[in-house]
């Protein structure tokens, strides 16, 4: 039963990444996102697997196609969309109900 719970958690996180990226695809032509995006559709499990093995205080430096890593590390979706220039209201679901309870570490340069 423990393995099943782990698989479900990993799958939910990968699915969340896919749904977010599909939402980005919908929004991008509307100019609500004011920055270039590089999607990682098909690579969700890489971010999920890597981030699942990390401690909450570990940092991830994903420099390209990094949305998945941010989400897998527990990053807040409203903050991610706000940073991209899109308002938080573009999210079609409540992010707190589906995101893992890990805290993402973000460093601005």
Q: Using CA atoms, how far apart are residues 71 and 73, in angstroms rounded to an integer?
A: 5
Q: What local confidence, expressed as pLDDT, does residue 88 receive?
A: 46
Token reading at 83: 């940073």
Contact (Cβ atoms closer than 8 angstroms) between residue 78 and residue 88: yes
Q: Taking the domains of the chain in order of start, what are their residue ranges?
A: 2-97
Per-residue pLDDT at 84: 64
In order along the chain (109 residues), what is the average pLDDT of each group of 10 residues? 90 94 82 74 94 93 85 88 60 43 40
pTM > 0.85: yes or no: no
């Amino acid at each position: 039963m423990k393995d099943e719970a782990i698989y479900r958690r990993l799958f939910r996180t990968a699915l969340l990444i896919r749904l977010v990226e599909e939402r980005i695809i919908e929004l991008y032509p509307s100019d609500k996102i004011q920055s270039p995006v590089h999607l990682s559709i098909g690579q969700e499990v890489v971010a999920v697997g890597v981030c699942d093995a990390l401690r909450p205080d570990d940092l991830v430096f994903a420099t390209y196609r990094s949305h998945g890593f941010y989400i897998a590390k527990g990053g807040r979706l409203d903050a991610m969309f706000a940073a991209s220039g899109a308002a938080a209201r573009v999210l079609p679901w409540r992010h707190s109900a589906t995101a893992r309870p890990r805290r993402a570490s973000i460093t601005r340069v």
